[in-house]
A and B are shown apart, each in its own frame.
Chain A
């Protein structure tokens, strides 16, 4: 998944995420709804790509994760 390119399909996500199909589709729906992922329909196949907002969120999450880890805590 990257900010340039065609995105990835759900099969790749299922393989890397090690989740059930139902759980993955629910998660993807929530992430798309929150604007963190972009869903692209090409030839009846859905592909997913991280949005700019998603990149910003990941950056902020990493920052706060480091901040919490400094105090010996987990996010």
Chain B
């Protein structure tokens, strides 16, 4: 009982941290949209705004341990949170897909889709697997971008997305093997570490980026 409560508290805290990181990335991207009117940054803003909201909604599930009357909403809230997260990952993958269409390069990750789309009929399972696919696609395309621009931050982001992908896969497993509580904690920790890695460009941005020196 005490262990269950501790799990719930830790998960709740991690969900709020995840929401903070995601919404911070969305905020920086939104500032970019206002200054540059870039549609890529708009999609990035949308992706991380949905992700942040998804984490916030899932944090409500943890609150049901303190307010048992919320327990009846748990299933609805879990699905709502997963739906928001999946939408966020979709926009992330969509951004890369647009980039692929513009550069007329084949998205190799699309080939993976038929193999992992097989899943149980439950909505949560489907959303988890879709999330995993979208993130996987994002990882592959980010690696292609690294091969193109050799920016170390890009490689870092690919690593962060890979961790998030691993987290979403474990999340799917935790829905299948719901009696194994530790899977739920492992998935959120993995996703949190991935999000922390994604936060690095935000830190780089806020602490100072390139300055124009000399003639333009």
Q: Is the CB of B95 within 8 A of A59?
A: no
Whole-angstrom CA separation of A72 from B102 in the bound complex: 14
Partner of B38, one of A54, A62, A75: A75
Count chain A residues whose beta carbon lies closer than 8 angstroms to a beta carbon of B. Answer: 24
Partner of A69, one of B28, B29, B144, B153: B153
Whole-angstrom CA separation of A60 from B141 in the bound complex: 25
Q: Is the CB of A63 within 8 A of B209?
A: yes
Q: Is the CB of A59 within 8 A of B212?
A: yes
Min C-beta distance of B102 to chain A, whole Å? 8
Partner of A75, one of B41, B141, B142, B143: B41
Q: Which residue of B lies closest to A63 (CB)?
A: B209
Min C-beta distance of A42 to chain B, whole Å? 20
Q: For chain B, which range describes its interface: under 10, 10 to 19, 20 to 34, or 35 or more residues?
A: 35 or more
Q: Is A46 an interface residue (CB 8 A)?
A: no
Min C-beta distance of B46 to chain A, whole Å? 13
Partner of B96, one of A63, A67, A70, A73: A73
- Residues from chain A with a CB closer than 8 A to the CB of B99 are 72-74
| In the complex, per-residue mask of B151-179: 1 if CB is within 8 Å of any chain A CB, else 0 | 10110111000000000000000000000
- Residues from chain B with a CB closer than 8 A to the CB of A60 are 35-36
The 6 closest A-B pairs by CB, nearest first: A72-B145, A63-B209, A72-B142, A70-B153, A2-B215, A70-B201
Q: Interface of A with B (CB < 8 Å)? A: 1-3, 50, 54-55, 57-64, 66-75
Q: Interface of B with A (CB < 8 Å)? A: 28-29, 31-32, 35-36, 38, 40-41, 43-44, 95-96, 99, 102, 138, 141-146, 149, 151, 153-154, 156-158, 200-202, 204-205, 209-212, 214-216
